[in-house]
Amino acid sequence: MQTAQAADAVPMVNGERLWSRLMQMGAIGATAHGGCNRQALTELDFEGRRLLMQWARPLGCEARVDGIGNLFLHRAGADERLPAVLTGSHLDTQPTGGKFDGVYGVLAGLEVLESLHEQEIRTAHPIELAVWCNEEGSRFPAAMMGSAVWAGRMSIDAAYALKDARGISVREALEQAGVPFERTLAQQPLRAAFEVHIEQGPILEQQHKTIGVVTGVQHMCRNEVLVYGQETHAGTTPMAVRHDPIRVLAQVLPELYRAAERVGTDARMTVGIIETYPGSPNTVPGRLRFTVDLRHPQQQHYRALREALERIVAEALARSQLQGSVRCYWEAPGVSFDERCVEAVRSAADALGYSYMKMISGAGHDSCNVAAIAPTSMIFVPCAGGLSHNEAEQAAATDLAAGANVLLHAMLSLAHTPA
């Protein structure tokens, strides 16, 4: 009877241990306002990794660091020829980051490994935990660097050459740390990959849901608009004869907001930088520069937004008889996550009795790169006020445990069954 009960028991993570470890990890690089500054490949980053390895030591996992500083912990499956089921996120933070962004995904993955170990669960497929290097891109300017190199979307030489503000390159930072990393980039075969993360937005909290079943990541691009005018005296030049680039801005902005409204509430349009040259209060500017960040989960609407930007700027330039340009200088195509992995997350949330909703990620994650190689999906949990990349980032221990349990069960559903 007891054996039958034990066999039927639903494996669960230890939520208290997860919380306590989040607080211990958060103490490495702790900031004055309760946040964390543990940037990629710093001494603090390596201290965090050592603490993780110390926790993982009793679990008998094999550890390796690849050529770009990604750390992998491998738990053997019953059949080591089978591809692994992976989870992973990042331990690095923004300079004024929080205790949960990324760190939660790594420590929830450790909870999966530890729970399987404690509960003596042997999976058919191996299980892996990845700590992706330099996800934030704040010290070395390439977000999601480690996963991009691993997935073959960025060359290792381009990544090695990235420098921080003090001129130290990624390669030098890896060597200085004395980490015995492999010079190769073995891309292990994966059956599936999952990442659990705080939402970094307000939707789950507003909708009173515990779990976000993430179906994909939205399309996004950043554009630079330049408009050329003529510098003239602000007092002596009649309005009618000026070549004033700000007239273009005055026409473009209301139309851009209308275009975003037209494609629905999922559209995101942000004018984050507006600069004039020479930037004097009594000179009509000779040049205007502004940026437009556009995002939408659906490709057709995303394309419509990009076309609207081009058309609106072209029309405003023509009306004002000025020269200018629109240039897309960064684009990240959207990702549709694997249907089977999404369903594994949804059914795990359902079976465990957590409230859930399907949603799209507004931010980029390592999983965008992993999805190029392996079937992938993500799990979100609420964070207070949707606040992230902020020292005040907060999440509830019960929600964090729920997300880790969904991760455990989604991974088990693919690690137990034959391919």
Between 91 and 113, CB nearer to Zn ion: 91
Could you tell me which stretch among 24-32, 101-109, 156-164, 344-352 binds Zn ion (CB under 5 A)? 101-109
Residues 6+ apart with CB under 8 A from 201: 362, 363, 386, 388
- Per-residue string for binding with Zn ion, 368-397, x by CB under 5 A? ------------------------------
189 preceded by a cis bond (ω within 30 of 0): no
- For 340, phi and psi rounded to 5 degrees? -70, -40
Query: Judged by CB under 5 A, which stretch of 57-65, 96-104, 283-291, 293-301 contacts Zn ion?
Result: 96-104
Check binding of 297 to Zn ion (CB under 5 A): no
Question: Whole-number minimum distance, CB 101 to Zn ion, in Å?
Answer: 4
77, 102, 212, 403: residue in contact with Zn ion (rule CB under 5 A)? 102
The encoded tokens of residue 241 equal 């004869």
- Closest contact distance (angstroms) between CB of 95 and Zn ion is 14
Q: How far is the CB of 383 from Zn ion (least distance, A)?
A: 11
Task: Report the DSSP pairing between strands 84-89 and 127-131.
Answer: parallel
> Binders of Zn ion among 159-198, rule CB under 5 A?
none
d(Cα 353, Cα 349) in Å, to the nearest integer?
Answer: 6
Q: How far is the CB of 319 from Zn ion (least distance, A)?
A: 43
Nearest to residue 125, comparing CAs of 74, 164, 50? Answer: 74
Closer CB to Zn ion, 229 or 403, in the complex: 403
Instruction: Output the six-digit token pair for 289.
Output: 């520069």
Identify which of residues 66 and 195 has a Cβ nearer to Zn ion in the complex.
195
| Rounded least distance, CB 238 to Zn ion, Å | 54
Closest C-alpha to 412, from 42, 125, 2:
125
User: Three-state DSSP class for 175?
Assistant: helix
Q: With respect to Zn ion, which residue has the nearer C-beta, 101 or 128?
A: 101
Q: Identify the H or E element spanning 65.
A: strand 62-65
Q: Which is nearer to Zn ion, 21 or 301 (CB)?
A: 21
Q: In whole angstroms, what is the distance from residue 244 CA to residue 43 CA?
A: 51
- Of the candidates 419, 415, 418, the one whose C-alpha atom is nearest the C-alpha of residue 344 is 415
Q: Between residues 88 and 102, which has the closer beta carbon with respect to Zn ion?
A: 102
Closest approach of Zn ion to the CB of residue 332, in Å: 14
Query: 258: Cβ–Cβ under 8 A, 6 or more apart, which residues?
Result: none
Cβ 304 to Zn ion shortest distance, Å: 29
**Whole-angstrom distance, CA of residue 30 vs CA of residue 21:** 14
- Which residue, 101 or 244, is less far from Zn ion as judged by CB? 101
Shortest Cβ contact with Zn ion: which residue?
Answer: 102
By beta-carbon proximity to Zn ion, the closer residue of 37 and 123 is 37
Residues touching Zn ion, count (CB under 5 A): 2
- Cβ atoms 100, 384 nearer than 8 A: no
To the nearest whole angstrom, how small is the minimum distance from the Cβ of residue 197 to Zn ion? 6
> CB-wise, 97 or 324, nearer to Zn ion?
97
Taking the mean position of all CA atoms in its chain, how far away is CA 365? Answer: 2
Retrieve residue 46's tokens: 């390596």
CB of 111 to Zn ion, least distance (A): 17
Pick from 45, 66, 92, 101 the residue near Zn ion by CB under 5 A.
Answer: 101
Which positions touch Zn ion (CB under 5 A)? 101-102
